[in-house]
Amino acid sequence: MFIEQISVFLENRNGALREMTQLLGNAGVDMLALSVADTQNFGIIRMILASGATDDALKLLRDNGYIAKINHVICAKVPDRPLGLCELLDIVEKADLSVEYMYSFLRASKPGEAHMILRLSNGEKAAKVFDMHGVGMMSQEEVDAL
C-alpha cells in the first residue's frame, strides 16, 4: 500500500522554503506532512498532500521553476508509545531492508497511534513484510480522510 509524496529540490537560501510554501498555500494546497533535509547547496523537501491536490501542486511547482517529482512511500501505523518505532524498525532490519529516509506524519487517525512515512530499499518487499507482521499501512484514501 503506497501513498504519493512530492519531493522538491530547493535552493539553500533564506526565504526559499517560505516562498515555496507560500506558492502552494496561495493555491489552496494543504500539506499533511512535511520533511526538510539539507545539504550545503540545496534542500530536499518531502511532502504528503491529499491525492486530489498532488497533480496540481506538482504542475504548479514545475511551472514556477522548481524541480519536483512524485515518489511512492509507505505510511506505517506505529504504536504511539516508547519502543513503538523500535518494533517497526526491528521488522525492517530482520527483513534485510534499509531505511532510505523516514519522517513522522502530522495528523493522527486515533489516540495511541502514530504514523511514519518510510522510503525503504525495497518498497514492495516492505509492504509484504509489514502485512505479514500485522503492521498497519494507510492507503491514499485513508490519508486523504485525515
Q: Which three cell numbers stand for residue 120?
A: 525503504
Q: Which helix (H) or strand (E) is 68 found in, with range?
A: strand 67-79
Structure pTM? 0.85
Is pLDDT at 106 greater than 80 in this prediction? no
What rounded mean pLDDT belongs to the chain? 92
In three-state secondary structure terms, 114 is strand
Report how far apart the first and last C-alpha atoms of the chain are (Å, whole number): 17
Give the domains, in start order, of the chain with CATH numbers.
Answer: 3-70 (3.30.2130.10), 72-145 (3.30.2130.10)
Average pLDDT over residues 4-16: 94
d(CA 128, CA 6): 24
What pLDDT digit, counting tens, does each position of 15-58 carry? 999 999 999 999 999 898 999 998 878 999 999 998 789 999 99
Residue with cell string 525503504: 120
In three-state secondary structure terms, 3 is strand
What residues have CB less than 8 Å from 21, skipping those under 6 apart? Answer: 31
